[in-house]
Amino acid sequence: MPTKVTENIEISVVTKFELEQSSILDKQFLFSYTIDIKNLRDSPVQLLSRHWFIFDSTGKYNEVKGEGVIGQQPIINQGQIHSYQSFCRLQSDIGLMWGTYLMKSLVDDKLFEVKIPEFQLITPERLN
């Protein structure tokens, strides 16, 4: 499980290939991922936006920016974990993702960036 700590915010990622929602013949590979965001700080923070970098083995590159995650801008109190699930559709059976979250300290309103660790998206057949 890829994990990274930036500015006392821990990001962990677990991925899964979704065979039932993929079409290998049509080169559509769906991967789900679960992100855990743990606040290791002494004060609450709010996740404001995300910025993703997505690559697949065909050389396709995609960059995604947007507010919050899955329609939310969660407040994460000291010691709490915010978890969410999302997905990514690729045109190949191997890919990479990484990115950043823009966060705000709710004590002093300072903005800071948290790195999302690079993680692989690989179908089980490619692991053999």
Q: Domains of the chain by range and CATH? A: 3-127 (2.60.40.1470)
Using DSSP bridges, classify how beta strands 94-105 and 81-90 pair: parallel, antiparallel or unpaired.
unpaired
pLDDT of residue 24: 85
Cα separation, 95 vs 117, whole angstroms: 14
Give per-residue pLDDT as tens, 50-95.
999 999 999 999 999 999 999 999 999 999 999 999 999 999 999 9
How far apart are the C-alpha atoms of 10 and 8, rounded to whole Å?
Answer: 6
pLDDT of residue 92: 95
Q: Are 95 and 110 in contact (CB under 8 A)?
A: no
Measured CA to CA, the distance from residue 71 to residue 84 in angstroms comes to 11
Average pLDDT, the chain: 95
pTM: 0.93
